[in-house]
């Protein structure tokens, strides 16, 4: 690929791609390189690369070996997170240099005088490191070769994929440095990178500072480290490694060298190169550190002695480690001294970690008899681990009690490395029985219980009619039970018998007094009392227990009934009889109850006192009637109940007035029933009140905001009946209240009207005046959906337009409607017919445009006929004017001037299309040794023209100061054709406006130049359009 070299500078993650030029054969780079970035940091790169894809598919491996103790966090300061590239946030800031043109990401520097400083500028936000440092790049031109003051320039611009395009014009070469800086502090930042250069072809020469890891087979390196390509073209990095170079770079300042041609000459075109940019990446960069070790020691928590052999784990320093404490038989991990899961980081120095374990042990608890010292039952075993606490809860033993005095050892403690023994002593349960005896008679027996070794004290009790003969007894409990006899003697006493009424506790008979021995029994005969009965449980046999003793015999009065009847004056029962009862001889108080509709008859007493004297007594209470009542029923014309029935009551003979209730949606059939009057009687009367339903009517109108009735609905029914209505919708109207779209209700009026309002929908009509589809003018008209519109249109009063209309009309059919009025430009063509002075036709030229459009057109300075004769314009060739409404034809006469001497004063137009040829006939140069020079000027004022002049000189044919001895090509007429490329002739790229003094074409001995042809040729894939000169010569 001609004109541009691509530098792709990425961190080891990112390498660039570019696709330009023809396909060539690829080769393979075998990379195996290592080096130092500094003390204790080495890199190693290894792999086979047959294509650019091998850089990031794992074939190329890269690692850093760090042995200086730097942490991964510090190393990440050297590594990029992504690519060095220009983004939308990047900005160009000029420090020095003469700026010819500048935008935010595009700067062109010019060189107007020798003293101009070399360009320097800062690009912000070009990347960041893996530690997060934002990077800027200070771009500085260090040296320039082959510069022409006032002519050379250097452009820097944001290119594809974030690359920086560097385009020198009329420069032989340029050296540029790129310093990476901290965006915040502006200090330099060291980076480790793998720059990739691609698309080095067509004799270009380049390099950057760094270690060469490998390059393609079309590239050679000289002693200065410059890489020069042969004339092979490459298809960018699609052919990589052909045309490519892989470097290793470490530092903060990257420098690049670029020569447009390897022979030191200046390429007058605009070659250049790209640097930076995001294209690909290398993955899984390996950071290697020295190995380190962590030792784990397993110790007894109490003795600190080893309980099993130590173990170790190894890994690279700064790498994390995780370790789980192992399970050791008969031990458990001491969680307060050690962790079950240990994590950390390998360090430069070996680490030792002590893991403490508690040993398993037991506490043996013996259960012993405190009197005999013998085992009561099997020992209790407590199990745990050293340093753990234990607490003994003495068990409860049947028929035993813990001896807390003899068990003086602590019942709590900590497990140790050896087993412990704890003795618990228990006292056996025992008893002492005391028999209280009157001779051989057992009066009472008492038993005391306790535990062996305890002291007992027994005080004999006082027994009624008996006397104690011994003092209190004392002693000790033993494992065996004991029995002790205590003697008593008998005493005399008196018994009194009382006869008591249980209801009022009054004495019914005189008391009876009897004498007896304490302890003897007395049999009584209980006397009978009229209207009383003996209470169950009164004793008939009484034992003398005390010297003076009393006994009550209880009687209860008999209970008799009283029946109370409630009768009218005719003796009929008014309500259920009441049954009362009371004791014999007691009075009952009774109040006659009220009975609804009745009152006590004359002579009857409200409150009564009744003495109970007979087993059955009857009391009759007489009543007479008090009030009357009226019952009302409410029905419609179909005898259907329309309200709840009502009942009123009052004193017999009194007057009543009853108002008929209001019933919604109904009215009284007979207005005389509005107020019903009468007198209460003893009998209950029923009256029917009649109601009639009211007829109802509803009218619903749908009306728009212009007063038009859109819909009228009439509904009929009776009041209280429900109805439902659905109103229609209209495309050009909107209901003001949407609740009336579908609504329901109840008839409640004889004539009710509901109005539903519709409003017209507003819209806008936009009228566009368009010329060939492009809007030139527009206006907006407001309207209402469904309305018709008709309006005049302001026309575009220009004679070169056709179409359009004066009025537009139609109907508003949608919101925000558009109407287009289309015009068209009138096209015309101007033709120039070229004739010679004799009137013979040579050729034609034509131009086309729109009516009224201005044009500038230049006819060619010279033309050829079919015989190769040249004709020259003897008039002003630069034409201007305006296209008319119709096509035009103009005749132009060219003059034939015949053979020329040593000077051709005319200018010749540069061809516009590929393979278009203008031939200059030099038939006047005939002598074998006639000498001339051909001067070719590219005019700055007319950049699309060349000026060719013949000058006298002597010598042989020279190109670039050297004899031109290459082979010749024979054309179809048998002429020798000497092909001179634009580089050899020194012609510039026609995209730029420069004045060029080309090399001299010299005619030498034995060579005769017959014609000079100017040929338009496009090279490559649209990269450069240039002009070639072909000298058609003869020997």
Give 269's pLDDT tier (boundaries 50, 70, 90).
Answer: low
So what's the pLDDT on residue 1022?
Answer: 32
Long-range contact pairs involving 633-638 (C-beta distance under 8 Å, separation at least 24) = 633/686, 633/687, 633/688, 633/689, 634/660, 634/661, 634/663, 634/688, 634/689, 634/691, 635/688, 635/689, 635/690, 635/691, 636/666, 636/690, 636/691, 636/692, 636/693, 637/669, 637/690, 637/691, 637/692, 637/693
Strand ranges (E), 326-480: 331-333, 341-345, 351-369, 375-385, 389-391, 400-402, 412-414, 420-438, 441-451, 455-458, 466-468, 473-476
Residue 273 and residue 208 share a domain: yes
Residue 964 or residue 793, greater confidence: 793
Give 282's pLDDT tier (boundaries 50, 70, 90).
Answer: low
| φ, ψ for residue 788, nearest 5 deg | -90, 145
Contact (Cβ atoms closer than 8 angstroms) between residue 634 and residue 663: yes
Q: How far apart are CA 918 and CA 729, in angstroms?
A: 79
Instruction: Give the tens place of pLDDT for each residue, 558-582.
Output: 888 888 898 887 888 888 988 888 8
What's the DSSP call for residue 985? Answer: H
Residue 500 and residue 610 share a domain: no
So what's the pLDDT on residue 237?
Answer: 67
Mean per-residue pLDDT for 390-396?
Answer: 92
* Range with the poorest average pLDDT among 313-317, 852-856, 875-879: 875-879
What's the DSSP call for residue 834? Answer: E
Long-range contact pairs involving 571-575 (C-beta distance under 8 Å, separation at least 24) = 574/598, 574/623
Instruction: Give the tens place of pLDDT for each residue, 184-194.
Output: 999 999 988 88
Q: What is the CA radius of gyration of the chain?
A: 67
Tokens of 412: 């709590």
Contact (Cβ atoms closer than 8 angstroms) between residue 793 and residue 767: yes
So what's the pLDDT on residue 427?
Answer: 93
- Which residues are registered as beta bridge partners of 714? 699
Residue 1028 CB partners (closer than 8 Å, separation 6+): 979, 980, 981, 982, 985, 1014, 1015, 1017
Contact (Cβ atoms closer than 8 angstroms) between residue 692 and residue 637: yes
Residue 649 and residue 732 share a domain: no
Percent of the chain with pLDDT over 70: 80
Percent of the chain with pLDDT over 90: 21
So what's the pLDDT on residue 387?
Answer: 93
Residue 962 and residue 852 share a domain: yes
Mean per-residue pLDDT for 171-193?
Answer: 92
Residue 1023 and residue 921 share a domain: yes
Contact (Cβ atoms closer than 8 angstroms) between residue 946 and residue 939: yes
pLDDT at 462 over 80: yes
Residue 173 and residue 259 share a domain: yes
Mean per-residue pLDDT for 836-855?
Answer: 83
Q: How far apart are CA 606 and CA 608, in angstroms?
A: 7
Contact (Cβ atoms closer than 8 angstroms) between residue 166 and residue 274: yes
Contact (Cβ atoms closer than 8 angstroms) between residue 694 and residue 750: yes
pLDDT at 739 over 70: yes
Residue 1026 or residue 197, greater confidence: 197
Residue 902 or residue 416, greater confidence: 416
So what's the pLDDT on residue 151?
Answer: 85
Torsion of CA 523, 528, 532, 538, to 10 degrees: 10
So what's the pLDDT on residue 430?
Answer: 92
Residue 913 CB partners (closer than 8 Å, separation 6+): 1016
Residue 215 and residue 118 share a domain: yes
Residue 545 and residue 472 share a domain: no
Q: How far apart are CA 14 and CA 12, in angstroms?
A: 6
Picking from 556, 580, 600, the residue at the C-terminal end of a domain is 556
- Please choose, from the candidates 498, 434, 488, 447, the residue with its C-alpha nearest in 3D space to the C-alpha of residue 464: 488
So what's the pLDDT on residue 863?
Answer: 82
In angstroms, how far is CA 833 from the centroid of its own chain? 74
Q: How far apart are CA 558 and CA 501, in angstroms?
A: 11
So what's the pLDDT on residue 155?
Answer: 92
* Range with the poorest average pLDDT among 108-117, 329-338, 589-598, 861-870: 861-870
Residue 815 belongs to domain with CATH number:
2.60.40.4300
Mean per-residue pLDDT for 781-793?
Answer: 87
So what's the pLDDT on residue 995?
Answer: 27
Q: How far apart are CA 100 and CA 153, in angstroms?
A: 9
Tokens of 925: 């140069």
Contact (Cβ atoms closer than 8 angstroms) between residue 687 and residue 631: yes
What's the DSSP call for residue 940? Answer: S
Q: Is 1029 exposed, middle or buried (0-12, 13-18, 19+ CB in 10 A)?
A: buried
Mean per-residue pLDDT for 947-967?
Answer: 35
Picking from 707, 734, 760, the residue at the C-terminal end of a domain is 760
Residue with tokens 């070229």: 834
Give 799's pLDDT tier (boundaries 50, 70, 90).
Answer: low
Residue 603 belongs to domain with CATH number:
3.10.20.320
Mean per-residue pLDDT for 192-216?
Answer: 81
Contact (Cβ atoms closer than 8 angstroms) between residue 604 and residue 592: yes
Give 802's pLDDT tier (boundaries 50, 70, 90).
Answer: confident
Residue with tokens 């109802």: 696
Tokens of 353: 């970690």
Instruction: Give the tens place of pLDDT for each residue, 218-240.
Output: 888 887 778 888 877 777 667 77
Residue 118 and residue 57 share a domain: yes
Residue 871 and residue 803 share a domain: no
Q: How far apart are CA 938 and CA 532, in angstroms?
A: 163
Q: How far apart are CA 202 and CA 591, in angstroms?
A: 141
Q: How far apart are CA 906 and CA 872, in angstroms?
A: 8
What's the DSSP call for residue 335? Answer: T
Q: How many domains does the chain have?
A: 10
Residue 855 and residue 959 share a domain: yes
| Highest averaged pLDDT of the listed ranges 25-34, 110-119, 287-296, 838-847 | 287-296
So what's the pLDDT on residue 989?
Answer: 34
Mean per-residue pLDDT for 1007-1033?
Answer: 40
* Range with the poorest average pLDDT among 543-557, 674-688, 729-743, 984-998: 984-998
pLDDT at 959 over 60: no
So what's the pLDDT on residue 538?
Answer: 64
Residue 203 or residue 641, greater confidence: 641
Pairing state of beta strands 205-208 and 253-259? Answer: antiparallel
Residue 264 and residue 210 share a domain: yes
Instruction: Give the tens place of pLDDT for each residue, 595-605.
Output: 887 877 777 88
Residue with tokens 């445009």: 849
Contact (Cβ atoms closer than 8 angstroms) between residue 593 and residue 577: no
| 3-class secondary structure, 191 | strand
| 3-class secondary structure, 615 | coil
Sign of the four-CA dihedral 1010, 1012, 1013, 1018: positive
Instruction: Give the tens place of pLDDT for each residue, 889-946.
Output: 888 888 765 433 323 333 334 444 444 444 444 433 333 333 334 444 443 444 444 4
Q: What is the DSSP string of 200-243?
A: --TT-EEEESSEEEEE-TTEEE-TTS-EEE-S----GGGGTTTT
Give 493's pLDDT tier (boundaries 50, 70, 90).
Answer: confident
Instruction: Give the tens place of pLDDT for each residue, 238-260.
Output: 777 887 888 888 899 999 888 88
Give 868's pLDDT tier (boundaries 50, 70, 90).
Answer: low
Q: How far apart are CA 771 and CA 804, in angstroms?
A: 9
Picking from 490, 514, 540, the residue at the C-terminal end of a domain is 490
Residue 307 or residue 1002, greater confidence: 307
Residue with tokens 């502090």: 185
pLDDT at 379 over 90: yes
| 3-class secondary structure, 160 | helix
pLDDT at 732 over 80: yes
pLDDT at 947 over 60: no
Tokens of 989: 């790229």
**What stretch of H or E contains 75?**
helix 72-75
What's the DSSP call for residue 707? Answer: S
Domain span at 529: 492-556
Tokens of 551: 């006994």
* Range with the poorest average pLDDT among 61-65, 373-377, 432-436, 938-942: 938-942
- Which residues are registered as beta bridge partners of 214? 246
Q: What is the mean pLDDT of the chain?
A: 78
Residue 796 or residue 4, greater confidence: 796
């Amino acid at each position: 690929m001609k004109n541009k070299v691509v530098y792709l500078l990425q961190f080891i993650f990112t390498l660039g791609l570019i696709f330009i030029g023809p396909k060539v054969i690829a080769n393979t780079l075998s990379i195996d390189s290592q080096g130092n970035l500094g003390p204790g940091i080495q890199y190693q790169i290894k792999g086979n690369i047959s294509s650019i894809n091998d850089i990031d598919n794992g074939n190329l491996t890269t690692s850093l070996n760090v042995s200086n103790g730097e942490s991964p966090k510090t190393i990440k300061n050297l590594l990029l997170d992504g690519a060095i590239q220009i983004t939308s946030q990047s900005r160009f800031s000029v420090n020095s240099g003469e700026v010819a043109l500048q935008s935010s990401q595009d700067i062109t520097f010019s060189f107007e005088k020798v003293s101009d400083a070399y360009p320097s500028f800062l690009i912000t936000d070009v990347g960041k490191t893996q530690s997060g440092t934002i990077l800027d790049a200070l771009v500085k031109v260090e040296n320039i070769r082959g510069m022409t003051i006032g002519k050379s320039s250097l452009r820097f611009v944001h290119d594809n994929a974030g690359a920086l395009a560097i385009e020198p014009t009329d420069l032989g070469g340029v050296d540029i440095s790129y310093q990476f800086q901290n965006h915040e502090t502006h200090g330099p930042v060291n980076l480790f990178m793998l720059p990739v250069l691609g698309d080095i072809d067509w004799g270009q020469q380049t390099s950057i500072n760094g270690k060469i890891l490998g390059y393609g087979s079309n590239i050679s390196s000289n002693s200065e480290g410059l890489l020069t390509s042969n004339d092979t073209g490459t298809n960018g990095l699609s052919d990589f490694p052909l045309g490519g170079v892989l470097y290793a770079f470490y530092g903060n300042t990257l420098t690049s060298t670029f020569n447009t041609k390897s022979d030191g000459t200046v390429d007058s075109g605009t070659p250049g190169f790209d640097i930076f940019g995001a294209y690909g990446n290398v993955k899984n960069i390996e950071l290697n550190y020295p190995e380190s070790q962590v030792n784990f020691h397993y110790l007894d928590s109490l003795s600190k002695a080893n309980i099993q052999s130590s173990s170790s784990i190894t890994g690279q320093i700064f790498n994390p480690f995780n370790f789980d404490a192992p399970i050791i038989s008969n031990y458990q991990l001491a969680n307060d001294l050690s962790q079950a899961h240990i994590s950390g980081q390998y360090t430069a120095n070996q680490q030792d970690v002590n893991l403490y374990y508690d040993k398993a042990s037991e506490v043996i608890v013996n259960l012993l008899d405190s009197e005999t010292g013998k085992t009561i039952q099997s020992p209790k075993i407590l199990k745990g681990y050293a340093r753990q606490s234990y607490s003994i809860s003495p068990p409860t033993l049947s028929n035993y009690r813990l001896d807390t005095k003899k068990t003086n050892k602590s019942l709590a403690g900590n497990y140790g490395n050896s087993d412990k023994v704890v003795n618990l002593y228990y006292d056996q349960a025992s008893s002492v029985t005391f028999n209280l005896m009157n001779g051989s008679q057992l009066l009472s027996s008492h038993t005391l219980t306790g535990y062996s070794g305890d002291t007992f004290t027994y005080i004999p009790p006082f027994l009624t009619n008996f006397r104690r003969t011994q003092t209190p007894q004392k002693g000790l409990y033993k494992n065996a039970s004991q029995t002790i006899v205590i003697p008593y003697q008998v005493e005399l006493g008196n018994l009194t018998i009382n006869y008591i009424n249980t209801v009022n506790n009054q004495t019914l008979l005189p008391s009876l007094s009897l004498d007896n021995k304490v302890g003897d029994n007395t049999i009584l005969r209980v006397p009978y009392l009229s209207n009383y009965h003996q209470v169950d449980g009164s004793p008939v046999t009484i034992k003398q227990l005390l010297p003076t003793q009393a006994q009550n015999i209880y009687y209860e009065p008999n209970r008799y009934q009283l029946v109370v009847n409630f009768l009218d004056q005719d003796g009929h029962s008014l309500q259920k009889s009441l049954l009362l009862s009371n004791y014999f001889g007691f009075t009952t108080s009774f109040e006659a109850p009220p009975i609804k509709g009745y009152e006590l008859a004359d002579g009857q007493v409200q409150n009564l006192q009744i003495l109970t004297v007979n087993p059955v007594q009857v009391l009759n209470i007489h009543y007479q009637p008090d009030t009357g009542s009226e019952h009302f029923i409410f029905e419609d014309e179909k005898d259907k109940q329309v309200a709840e029935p009502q009942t009123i009551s009052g004193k017999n003979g009194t007057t009543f007035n009853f108002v008929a209730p209001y019933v919604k949606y109904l009215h009284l059939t007979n207005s005389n029933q509005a107020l019903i009057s009468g007198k209460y009687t003893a009998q209950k009367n029923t009256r029917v009140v009649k109601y009639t339903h009211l007829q109802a009517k509803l009218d619903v109108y749908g009306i728009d905001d212009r007063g038009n009735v859109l819909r009228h609905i009439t509904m009929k029914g009776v009041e209280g009946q429900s109805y439902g209505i659905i109103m229609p919708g209209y495309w050009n109207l909107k209901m003001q209240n949407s609740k009336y779209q579908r609504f329901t209700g109840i008839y409640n009026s004889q004539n009710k009207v509901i109005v539903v309002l519709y409003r017209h929908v507003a819209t806008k009509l936009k009228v566009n005046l368009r010329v060939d589809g492009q809007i030139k003018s527009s206006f907006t008209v407001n309207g209402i959906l469904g309305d018709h519109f008709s309006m005049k249109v302001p026309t575009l009063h220009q004679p070169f337009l056709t179409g359009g209309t004066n009025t537009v009309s139609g109907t508003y059919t949608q919101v925000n409607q558009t109407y287009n009025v289309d015009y068209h430009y009138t096209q015309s063509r101007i033709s120039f017919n070229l004739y010679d002075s004799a009137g013979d036709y040579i050729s034609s030229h034509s131009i086309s445009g729109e009516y009224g459009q201005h044009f500038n057109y230049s006819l060619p300075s010279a033309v050829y006929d079919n015989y190769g004769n040249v004709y020259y314009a003897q008039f002003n060739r630069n034409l201007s004017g305006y296209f008319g409404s119709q096509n035009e034809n103009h005749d132009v006469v060219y003059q034939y001037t015949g053979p020329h001497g040593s000077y051709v004063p005319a200018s010749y137009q540069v061809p516009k299309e590929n393979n278009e040829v203008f031939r200059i006939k030099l038939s006047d140069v005939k002598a074998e040794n006639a000498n001339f020079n051909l001067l070719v000027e590219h005019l700055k004022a007319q950049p699309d023209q060349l000026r060719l002049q013949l000058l006298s000189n002597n010598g042989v044919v020279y190109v670039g100061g050297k004899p031109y001895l290459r082979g010749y090509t024979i054309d179809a007429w048998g002429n020798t054709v000497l092909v001179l490329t634009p580089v050899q002739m020194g012609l510039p790229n026609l995209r730029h406006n420069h004045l060029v003094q080309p090399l001299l074409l010299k005619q030498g001995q034995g060579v005769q130049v017959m014609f000079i042809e100017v040929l338009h040729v496009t090279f490559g894939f649209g990269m450069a359009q240039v002009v070639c000169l072909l000298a058609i010569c003869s020997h």
